[in-house]
Amino acid sequence: MVQFHSLSSQDIEKFKVSHPSFKIIRSIGISPNFPQSKADEIRNYALICDFLLFDFEMDGKSGGTGKQIPLKDAVKAAKIARKYNSKVKLFLAGGINTNRIKNEGETLKNVFDYVDVNSGVEEEPGIKKEDKIKEFMQVME
């Protein structure tokens, strides 16, 4: 598996032709109330990728913010992706933590295949906290 953050859909298509055994994950930044151009981007990647990872986008940059994509926008992005490729697997990232799973877990389980947790189990940036990881795993069961 290979995860790309900045390759265009055309470049990913070229990569897939030359590396057919690789599964492709494409990260896509989602900001609140995203525009039609973002919906078009989701469609383009859903058509060629095996997995999409939605992460919070701020000022054109995604990942590492610790901020959550609002549930309605995350679900909207997922629906767009699945409209064009019912087999694409979906990750939700961006500030995923125990509270979000407790509060929105049922919806997330029905919409997303995976969650990507990072800052939600950190004591400080880059430092994971074992008790937060254990708590998160218990809530996920």
Which domain CATH number covers 65? 3.20.20.70
Give one DSSP letter per residue of the chain, joined into a string.
-EEESS--HHHHHHHHHH-TT--EEEEEEE-TT--HHHHHHHHHHHHH-SEEEEEEEETTEESSS-PPPPHHHHHHHHHHHHHH-TT-EEEE-SS--HHHHHHHHHHHHHH-SEE--SGGGEEETTEE-HHHHHHHHHHH-
Q: 6-10, 121-125, 133-137: which has the minimum mean pLDDT?
A: 121-125
- pLDDT-derived band at 95 (thresholds 50, 70, 90) equals confident
Q: Report the mean per-residue pLDDT for the chain.
A: 93
Question: For the chain, how many structural domains are there in total?
Answer: 1
Average pLDDT over residues 23-42: 94
Q: Which range marks the domain in which residue 84 is found?
A: 2-140
Average pLDDT over residues 83-108: 95
Q: Is the pTM of this model over 0.85?
A: yes
The pLDDT tens digits of the residues spanning 39-76 come to 999 999 999 999 999 999 987 778 777 789 999 999 99
CB 25 within 8 A of CB 50: yes
